[in-house]
Structure 1
């Protein structure tokens, strides 16, 4: 995947993604991203698609985490 944020169409349940919670500033350099598996995909948004992780955290996808 490129450096661009994925779209909701690029995502599927079970993928591991890096997100920023919706109520936090995605431009903040202090912000630690949350990494987890996608449970539910909601919609595209200018800040990245909104997803709910299996642990219940909701946020905007920054990137997909690839297995190394």
Structure 2
């Protein structure tokens, strides 16, 4: 597990995060993460905190996005 990945207890509704969808392999090099706001935090999982975004996408958080902007912008 990544040392900079947040824990489920550090996340809250409305926080902007980068996540990998449940159907994607979080360890694959070609997996593209999505950016969105958290609607529900389900709990901790070995692949990262399990959440549902406001858009309805469910997946595992990889990182918190600072200032609501995508990384590298």
Same fold? TM cut 0.5? yes
3-state SS in 1 of match to 2:6 = coil
Structure 1 unaligned residues grouped into runs of 5+: none
- TM normalised by structure 1 equals 0.91
Q: How many residues align?
A: 66
CA RMSD of aligned residues (A): 1.2
Structure 2 residue runs without a partner (length 5+): none
Which contiguous aligned blocks of 4+ residues in structure 1 show a shift greater than 3 angstroms? none
Name the residue aligned to 2:41: 41
Whole-angstrom distance in 1 between the partners of 2:43 and 2:9: 9
What TM-score, normalized to structure 2?
Answer: 0.85
- What is the distance in 1 between the residues matched to 2:9 and 2:34? 21
